[in-house]
Amino acid sequence: MLRYRTLPVTAFAQNCSLVWCDQTLEAAVIDPGGEIERLLATVADLGLQLKAIWLTHAHIDHAGAVGELAERLQLPIVGPHPGDQFWIDALPQQSAMFGFPPARHFAPTRWLQDGETVQIGQSTLTVRHCPGHTPGHVVFHSAEAQRVFVGDVLFAGSIGRTDFPQGNHAQLLASIREKLWPMGDATVFIPGHGPEGTLGEERRFNPYVGERAGG
């Protein structure tokens, strides 16, 4: 069964998640935006073997430490969708703009497409391409654990911003309605910032995309 632990990192309190197979203790880290030493200390405390970096999208608070971590541990970088190439290219400028440590450039080992899968140990997750916040944003869904790691697509009571370059509000709403809602009301989502919630709660009450908003 898939297990996870979420660690808020950077001044933006970005939810970096360690996910692992409880049978093999092989792990991936989702969106390591910063604080590498803290992340690695948690990996050691949990007795995990870090095997990969999974990336939902390439904003600095999610991707700032990807290049350094991948180089240090020789880890493959999996994701996001190719639509975020320009955000990866802009990471050095993003780090300077927001006061982050200089971000190293990187090239994903594997780009992701909608409907593909990623695996860690004996746990398999489905990738859904959910553009809108960024054009290449993806989410990682574990049907067995009823969990989905949604990055900045959906928040408890809110949705991702779409005022960044190549953001698209209508596209984001469509991504939530067409890709997330079918995962089921009981599915728990782990957002890029803030508390977890259930898709059912957001489908009913989210003021931007819930039923009361015409969702």
Report whether pLDDT(149) > 60. Answer: yes
Question: pLDDT tens-digit profile of 155-203?
Answer: 999 999 999 999 999 999 999 999 999 999 999 999 999 999 999 999 9
- Give the closest residue to 90 by CA, choosing from 173, 98, 2, 204: 98
Mean pLDDT of the chain: 96
CATH number belonging to the domain at 2-213, selected among 1.10.800.10, 3.30.70.870, 3.60.15.10, 3.30.413.10: 3.60.15.10
Report whether pLDDT(215) > 60. Answer: no
In this prediction, residues 75-84 reach a mean pLDDT of 98
Q: Identify the three-state secondary structure at position 43.
A: helix
Which ranges in the chain belong to alpha helices (H)? 36-46, 60-63, 66-73, 85-89, 91-98, 169-175, 199-205
71 residue type, one letter: E
Q: Which long-range contacts (CB under 8 A, 24 or more apart) does 4-8 make?
A: 4/145, 4/147, 4/149, 4/190, 5/42, 5/46, 6/190, 6/196, 7/35, 7/38, 7/39, 7/42
Q: What is the pTM of this model?
A: 0.97
Which has the higher per-residue pLDDT, 213 or 112?
Answer: 112
Provide the residue ranges of all domains of the chain, joining segments of one domain with +: 2-213
In this prediction, residues 26-53 reach a mean pLDDT of 98
> What number of residues does the chain have?
215
Report whether pLDDT(213) > 80. Answer: no
Task: Return d(Cα 185, Cα 146) in angstroms, integer.
Answer: 10
According to the model, what pLDDT value does residue 147 have?
98
The end-to-end CA distance of the chain, in Å, is 32
In this prediction, residues 73-98 reach a mean pLDDT of 96
Q: Could you tell me the two tokens for 135?
A: 């054009």
How would you class 160 by CB atoms within 10 Å of its CB: exposed for 0-12, middle for 13-18, buried for 19 or more? buried
